[in-house]
Structure 1
Amino acid sequence: MEACLITDAQKWNDFIATSPFGAITQTYEWGILARRAESIPLYCGVLDDQDNLCAAMLILVMRLPKINNSYFYVPRGPIITDPDSAALSFLLHFVDSLARKYNAFMLKIDPVADQHDAVWLQAFAHHGFMATDSFIHGRGEWVLDIYPDEKQQLAHMKEKWRYNVRLAQRKGVKIRQGHTPEDIQIFHTILQETSERDQFFIHAVDHFEYLMKLFEEGEKAELFLAEYEGQAIAGIIVMRSGQWCWYRYGASSSQGRNVMPNHLLQWTSLQWGREHGCTHYNFMGIPAVLTEAEGPKDPNWGVYNFKRGFGGQARCAMRSQEKPYNPTVYRLYTLVRELKHRYATARYERSELARKRQEYQTKKGEESLPAR
């Protein structure tokens, strides 16, 4: 076996596509995309005696200019059939050697493996990793099997969701693919409205233009726009690798919600995945707590309810794994990270307290009004 940097994009992607849980963030194009965020992609692989890949891990070199250090980050890797094999040791020893070159103080992995995978847990511990609850790539996902028969697919959806798909079709909602810069701008405009309404970060429009340029080749990504009465009112970007398809980005206008464009968009995306040989559809992010008693407190509970209406099941990836290379810098980094987390938590709790106080005062004021 030989560990080295891989430059053959096709060989790399063909191997990544074999991942049992899928890993769009380990594809060759994802590393190229990361360059726009000033990260350096390192395509680390292990070749066997026949020059075939048997282990791979896309590493993003993340710079921390204030302390003149970097760290290695692996989004949903490594990709290897057997973590007990010698290939994993070859791979990690090679990565350790690169750490010195790039002045990396740690290797951080958000694993693709399932949270209960004892073999992987043991392998990470054996190679000096420590589990942490600090993650970059969210652990919770909603995964749906793509059935070869559309009637079977519909049967696994909630009745109201089947009704809403047909309602959108009856109301005249049209779904079309978007390929031009103008289409991407339309999507981004709706996405901006969505982010302002739901308070989440979005990339600039040129990020999505570059993403589609990279992944549209070979139909690895598709933009779908929902139009009603000649106006775009919603859109999604779906991506695929191997047998997996992902709902990566979604946007919806406040207008036209009553004609259920989002249900028809997801149904169209499922069909797109099926046509391209995918067997799983990943809706991605869901709340950490899924019980009816606690879950509704999560701001993503409504999105989760929408996703599970299509059928499927929850999946939780393993906790993040971190391997320090420079203990001093690592301790400083984790201290700053913990302080930022405490500050963010306190700020959120204050905002929630203010919101509940306002709701109470509003309710109390309404109750004090004279009956009509």
Structure 2
Amino acid sequence: MGPVDPENYRRASVLQGDRSYLQAPSWAMVKPDWGSELLAWRDAAGQVLGTALVLYRRVPGIRRCFAYLPEGPDIDWRDPNLDRWLDPLVDHLLAAGAFAVRIGPPPPLRRWHADTLKAAAGPALRIGDVLPDLVEPIGSSVGDRLRSLGWRRMGEDGSRGDAQPRFVFQVPLQGRGLDELKASLSSEWRRNLKKAERSGVETRIGDASDLPTFYELLKTTEQRNGFNLGRSLAYYERQYRALNAEEPGRMRLYLASHGGEVLAAHTMNVVGRRVWYQTGASANHRRDVRPSHALQWRMLQDAHKLGAEYYDMRGVSDCLDPSRREFGLLRWKLGTRGEVVETLGEWELTLSGVVNKTLHHAMQKYR
């Protein structure tokens, strides 16, 4: 394996299924504080078999770095001999000066239908306390293989958790018509969609000039819900510019207005036939006209038109306790009657050498 140019990297995006937007070449432009490299696995004839975007975080003052592959690499995770893929990657990163590497294997691990979790919700419960509707055999097998190769799952043994969400919410779209999809929504969701329609809520796709409006609404949302993503307006402007320069329409900004005022704004990312709802924001007033429901239905319809297998609503908490604030977002997404998917999470490996082990331990303590 070795470096690959961006054009050949992009052409290989469907080898193992459309890759995550976090593995698109443009994502490196969103993270200017990290170095980056595009890598490819090739066969004897030079054909690309798998790819990876690697982000490097340098340690000040020394020629060592931490390597991170968010939601990657994009390889054949069904291969029972994962060392054929991961050993060359580790060798390359070691030569590049990495003391440790973190990966995010894409295969899902377990799935819970919305109805299963709504019925199970109760005090102090977590999603992991509920018997899943499906255990994915490939995901389970990959986890076992990674452990046998010396990788450690983040969050285990008291280590820090994942950088990307371990639990995501997906609405299956494949083989379903829009009428069927709408009919499957919860009665509350259907009522709210009718309320938005009767109230005259209008939805549209915006452009870069609408990002300041989105950002002001996001700050309002963070304050209302008690969280802070820690991202600036410049971050979203950079992401919008980089992703859409790579492929027009890769990042889309949806806005919902009532009486000429924007009340909600959500971002969506598209890579091939994969679609993600990334960030949502809404005003504190006129919430009764349900602008966010109208926006999500518009985005679901667009994902369906794009031929997406799933509409990925990204991360949710694993909290099933209705008295806890973090359950609120999950409850809202459960109304789409989709499913919670537990991913394999992120895994780290300390690269061989006493110095590397010392640096990795120091980094973990610092974090």
TM-score, L = length of structure 1:
0.81
Task: Write the letter of the residue equivalent to 2:205.
Answer: Q
Task: Write the letter of the residue equivalent to 2:206.
Answer: G
Asked if residue 327 in structure 1 is aligned to residue 357 in structure 2, the reply is yes
Aligned residue for 1:32, secondary structure, equals helix
Residues 92-137 of structure 1: CA deviation (Å, up to 9, x unaligned): 3343334345432211123212235233123323433122312111
Give 1:68 deviation, angstroms. Answer: 6.8
Which residue in 2 is equivalent to 1:70? Answer: 65
Distance, in Å, in 1 between the alignment partners of 2:76 and 2:219 is 40
Asked if residue 132 in structure 1 is aligned to residue 154 in structure 2, the reply is yes
Structure 1: stretches of 5+ with no match in the other structure: 338-372
Distance, in Å, in 2 between the alignment partners of 1:17 and 1:172 is 40
Which residue in 1 is equivalent to 2:195? Answer: 167
Distance, in Å, in 1 between the alignment partners of 2:208 and 2:164 is 29
Q: How many residues align?
A: 326
Distance, in Å, in 2 between the alignment partners of 1:53 and 1:137 is 27
Asked if residue 157 in structure 1 is aligned to residue 185 in structure 2, the reply is yes
Distance, in Å, in 2 between the alignment partners of 1:212 and 1:333 is 31
Task: Write the letter of the residue equivalent to 1:130.
Answer: R
Which residue in 1 is equivalent to 2:12? Answer: 15
Higher Cα Rg, which structure: 1
Task: Write the letter of the residue equivalent to 1:299.
Answer: R
Distance, in Å, in 1 between the alignment partners of 2:188 and 2:201 is 17
Change (3 A) 1:98 1:297: farther
Give 1:18 deviation, angstroms. Answer: 5.0
TM-score, L = length of structure 2:
0.82
The answer on whether the counterparts of 2:29 and 2:239 sit within 8 Å (CA) in structure 1 is no
The answer on whether the counterparts of 1:84 and 1:119 sit within 8 Å (CA) in structure 2 is no
Distance, in Å, in 1 between the alignment partners of 2:264 and 2:145 is 44
Distance, in Å, in 1 between the alignment partners of 2:76 and 2:86 is 15
Aligned residue for 1:296, secondary structure, equals coil
Distance, in Å, in 2 between the alignment partners of 1:18 and 1:229 is 47
Distance, in Å, in 1 between the alignment partners of 2:29 and 2:46 is 24
Give 1:81 deviation, angstroms. Answer: 2.3
Task: Write the letter of the residue equivalent to 1:62.
Answer: R
Aligned residue for 1:234, secondary structure, equals strand
Which residue in 1 is equivalent to 2:328? Answer: 302
Higher mean C-alpha displacement, 75-84 vs 96-105? 96-105
Aligned residue for 1:65, secondary structure, equals coil
Asked if residue 204 in structure 1 is aligned to residue 202 in structure 2, the reply is no
Distance, in Å, in 2 between the alignment partners of 1:264 and 1:138 is 25
Which residue in 2 is equivalent to 1:45? Answer: 40
Structure 2: stretches of 5+ with no match in the other structure: 110-135, 156-160
The answer on whether the counterparts of 2:165 and 2:345 sit within 8 Å (CA) in structure 1 is no
Change (3 A) 1:157 1:50: farther
Give 1:296 deviation, angstroms. Answer: 2.9
Asked if residue 184 in structure 1 is aligned to residue 227 in structure 2, the reply is no
Matches within 5 A, 1:21-40: 23-34=20-31, 36=32, 38-40=33-35
Residues 207-253 of structure 1: CA deviation (Å, up to 9, x unaligned): 21221222233322210111111111110000112332101011001
Task: Write the letter of the residue equivalent to 1:132.
Answer: M
Asked if residue 265 in structure 1 is aligned to residue 265 in structure 2, the reply is no
Change (3 A) 1:72 1:297: farther
Residues 337-362 of structure 1: CA deviation (Å, up to 9, x unaligned): 4xxxxxxxxxxxxxxxxxxxxxxxxx
Task: Write the letter of the residue equivalent to 1:73.
Answer: Y
